[in-house]
Amino acid sequence: MALTVLFGTFVFLLIIGTPIAFCLGVASFATVLVLGLPPLVVFQRLNSGVSVFSLMAIPFFIFAGDLMVRGGIAARLVALAGSLVGHLRGGLGQVNIAASTMFGGISGSAVADASAVGGLMIPQMKARGYGVDYAVNITSVGAIIALLIPPSHNMIIYSISAGGRISIADLFTAGVLPGLLLALSLMITAYWVASRRGYPTEPFAGFGRALQLLLAAIPGLILIGIIFGGVRSGIFTATESSCIAIVYAFLVTLIIYRSMSWNDFVTATTAAVRTTAMVLMIIGCAAAFGWLLAYLRVPAALVAFLQSVSDNKLVILLMINVVLLILGTFMDMSPLIIITTPIFLPVVMAYGVDPVHFGVILILNLGIGLCTPPVGAVLFVSCAIGRIPIWTAMRSIWPFYGAAFAVLMLVTYIPEISLWLPSLFH
Amino acid sequence: MKSFWLATERLLSQLARLALWVSGAGLTLMTIIIFWQVFSRYVLNRSPSWTESFSVLLMGWFIFLGAAVGVRERTHLGFDVLLYFLPHAAKAVLRSISDIVVLAFGAGMIVYGVQLTMLTWNTVMPSLALPGGVGFLPVILGGALVCLFSLERLAGRFAGLPVDADQYATGEEDL
């Protein structure tokens, strides 16, 4: 009964368009009333769910990413990528993917990546005669790379949803190879599509020009080292590294690039507030929801159910992947991480899957969901930049979905791709 | 009647902007505090004990005020695909149900936030020497704003104002 109220209220409100944070909060509120528990507990969980120090990394990384886009750090990374891979088949498409990979090293958000890289690359690609759909598709699917390459605030959300026991440094390290693998497979796909459509290559700019662009991009590249090195070596926590990223981005744009006005700063701050207050509100409400799931023993029941279906780890992982892909088409990433982690993590751990490995699977899988309609924030951002309807992008996006899905399967069934690099640090 | 609406709209829009500014100031202050924490640890060789708990306290204000502004500006993530396929009247009904539900949750934030504050007022936060109840104040204030802003939407829709139009109350233009 209580379970019906919890899920029934949630799904009903979700369908009629209530903001997800309130779907979760009100469903928990209603369930607590039905169970006869004190309603106080919902709001106590809401508050304690967001009073977590590591959560602060989320507004910080998003704020830092915004400063890097407005201040020109992102633009210089894109220019550097242009001089490195622009001469490959599918020229600017390759540049787009390489730029996503580099920008992913300083920002952990796929939406920020799509708006930063897409904002610079899509108009250029249009002007050089590439199909807008091609530009939009590469930008969207390429943005998933940013979720895997550290820093990734979604991995922090995963670690917190899993009870905070999974090392963020390990998760960050585990994402590196899958991220690079995804970049590689997308570059191959971009090459293949470009050959079929007869897209041009860019002339190689020459070593002198490349060196010049490298020098201009160095402040951004140093930040990659500071964040990853700092967290990996334990010099500072993920939250502290995100704070240093803000201060660093602020100083670089203010002193070296001289491209930040007070108005830019205010706009960046309020933009960060708008984006992250909403995400954190979802996290708070999901804390109440998750507490009720545990109270009603949902994860345990699911483990028992799945064990009755199959005792094969590979089958279970495939089933979970399919369920996550379906959920990912109509829900956003962070609420899904918060809701599904406490449900699925005990299941896969019962089958002997490493929680760090599952984290990478989850992030990559839900990352694909960001590029699928009806709800796909990254695809929407890219289409808005390219000014094409979602349908136009959808018609030719399939090879890129295919590449991302292939990497998802590789990452799911070859745990070493995720776990080998972290194991070197133990 | 029309001037009353305009005055209310102006007042609430200023309230939203104030909340946004407080949130933004909170974010900036959090950044400064955590930077200070790292700086003291490595440069001054002593770790301040108050920085983490104080910035977590600020984060509460940042989240609940910012989320309330999101109710007014409709920036919250949601799944509104179904709404596209429905006739106008049905949309208005479903959106009103949503707003009522949000209003109820805001009311819950106020009522239970007050109870939680009173229950924990006599405890003391370690490392800050503040009453434990202080942590629930942003829940109460955020709840109050959530109520006001969802009421504004309900009343506005009832009066035939374009509260569901894309450009309504986004606040982007006046920055």
Per-residue tens of pLDDT for chain A, all 426 residues: 888 999 999 989 988 888 888 999 999 999 999 999 999 999 999 998 888 888 888 888 888 888 888 888 888 888 888 888 877 877 889 999 999 998 888 887 888 888 888 888 898 888 888 999 999 999 999 999 999 998 888 999 999 888 878 999 999 999 999 999 999 999 999 999 998 988 877 777 788 888 888 888 888 888 888 888 888 888 888 888 889 989 998 888 888 888 778 888 888 888 888 888 888 898 889 888 888 888 888 878 887 888 888 888 899 999 999 999 998 887 778 888 988 898 899 889 989 999 999 999 999 999 999 999 877 888 988 998 898 888 889 999 999 999 999 999 999 999 999 999 999 988
Question: What's the pLDDT score for residue B171?
Answer: 47
Q: Say if B71 is an interface residue toward chain A (CB within 8 Å).
A: yes
DSSP state of B131: B
From the list A146, A156, A143, A209, the residue with the least C-alpha distance to A341 is: A156
Quick check: B174 pLDDT over 50? no
Cβ within 8 Å of B, A 216-245:
236, 239-240, 243-244
Size of interface A-B (CB pairs under 8 A): 181
CA distance B29 to chain A (A): 11
Residues B125/B131, Cβ–Cβ less than 8 Å: yes
Nearest residue to A268 (alpha-carbon basis) of A51, A74, A92, A4: A74
Q: Which residues contact B130 (CB under 8 A, 6 or more apart)?
A: B57, B124
Query: What per-residue confidence (pLDDT) applies to B175?
Result: 36
Assembly ipTM: 0.90
| Residue among A25, A40, A55 whose CB faces B115 most closely | A40
| pLDDT for position A225 | 85
Identify the closest residue of chain B to A276 by CA–CA distance.
B63
Closest residue in B to A230 (Cα–Cα) = B38
Interface test with B, best of A60, A243, A251, A390 (most B CBs within 10 A): A243
| Contacts A280 to B, Cβ<8 Å | 59, 62-63, 66-67
Residues 6+ apart with CB under 8 A from A253: A67, A68, A70, A71, A72, A73, A259, A260
Helix (H) or strand (E) holding A304: helix A298-309
Cα A326 to Cα A165, A321, B148: the distances in Å are 28, 9, 36
Instruction: Please report the pLDDT score of residue A401 as a whole number.
Output: 97
Q: Give mean pLDDT, residues B45-71.
A: 90
C-alpha angle A172/A176/A180, rounded to 5°? 155
| Burial (Cβ within 10 Å: 0-12, 13-18, ≥19) of residue A387 | exposed
Backbone angles phi, psi at B110, to 5 degrees: -70, -55
Residue A182 and residue A409 in contact, taking contact as beta carbons nearer than 8 Å: no
**pLDDT-based confidence at residue B168 (cuts at 50, 70, 90):** low
User: Could B175 and A43 be called an inter-chain contact, meaning their C-beta atoms sit closer than 8 Å?
Assistant: no
**Residue B172's pLDDT is what?**
43
Q: How far is CA A212 from the centre of its chain?
A: 31
Give the mean pLDDT of chain B. 85
Q: Is B106 on the interface with A (CB under 8 A)?
A: no
Per-residue pLDDT, A402: 97
A-chain CB neighbours of B175 within 8 Å are 263, 266-267, 270
Rounded to a whole number, what is the distance in Å from the CA of B56 to chain A's nearest CA? 6
B98/chain A closest Cα distance in angstroms: 5
Contact: A278, B77; criterion CB under 8 Å: yes
